[in-house]
Structure 1
Amino acid sequence: MHEVLKHWKAAFDGHQPDAMADLFTPDALFQGFGPEVLSGRDSVRGYYAAVPSDRSADVTILHTYTIGEQVAGGFADVTFRDLAGWEAAVHMSLVLQRDGDAWRIRQYHVSRISTEH
């Protein structure tokens, strides 16, 4: 989880949609800020290509787990920012799947943190 999110942050901060898409499985499920659940690397690539290039992310890993040798996951708090002062805090959950010697994101979900109910 730590290694995957290190690469995810580098790709996000560097506005590298191809590198970002490569972190996901070919059939990944993805729920970002949009209203729809996306599926697959091409959708992930398109999502991140549309993110403004001046955005960055601060990541704090909260919890990790493994299920056998092929599945892992966890939770993180992420704060997205841009140079104009925009900010969005989210909870992120990931399910990771082993792909050879690497881990790839099989399922990705973020939900905005709100103080309102």
Structure 2
Amino acid sequence: MTHPTDPMYAVLDEWKAAFDGHQIDAMANLFTRDALFQGFGPEVMSGRDAVRGYYEAVPENRSAQVTVVSTYTIGEETAGGFADVTFSDPDGWAAPVHMSLVLRREQDRWRIRQYHVSRVITDE
């Protein structure tokens, strides 16, 4: 999935590796301290500790398939985009989502400032 100059690809490469490896601290460290996070739950969470708590509750056998759909950059410090992600486990559970990210550069590293997923409902 790597694209050499696009921050969205770089961050999602790190995110996928940490998610698939259930590396909670690595996941949380991808986010800014004041990140806004909307996962599968109904409420928006704020902050790296909330993100850590969210990912601690995800079963360890889950993985993610990621396809970047669109990316953008605004100046030197803001980037983001959209991806299609399917979360799955070895037992056949799968949840396709649309993911949107807003990224912010902090000290020469891109971090997730805003994360949002919405489930894709199919008639299958």
**TM-score, normalised on structure 1?**
0.97
Could you tell me how far 1:114 is from its partner in structure 2?
1.1
Equivalences for 1:19-38 in 2 at 5 Å?
A: 19-38=26-45
RMSD between aligned alpha carbons? 0.7
Could you tell me how far 1:48 is from its partner in structure 2?
0.2
Aligned-partner Cα distance in 1 for 2:35–2:83: 18
**TM-score, normalised on structure 2?**
0.92
Q: What's 2:79 paired with?
A: 72
How many residue pairs get aligned? The number is 116
Q: What letter is aligned with 2:79?
A: A
Aligned-partner Cα distance in 2 for 1:93–1:111: 9
Q: What letter is aligned with 1:71?
A: T
Query: Match of 1:43, SS?
Result: helix
Report % sequence identity. 74
Could you tell me how far 1:101 is from its partner in structure 2?
1.1
Could you tell me how far 1:115 is from its partner in structure 2?
2.8
Q: Does 1:85 align with 2:98?
A: no
Aligned-partner Cα distance in 2 for 1:40–1:83: 31
Instruction: Give the gaps of 5 or more residues in structure 2.
Output: 1-7
Find runs of 4+ consecutive structure 1 residues off by over 2 angstroms.
none
Q: What's 1:9 paired with?
A: 16
Aligned-partner Cα distance in 2 for 1:66–1:3: 13
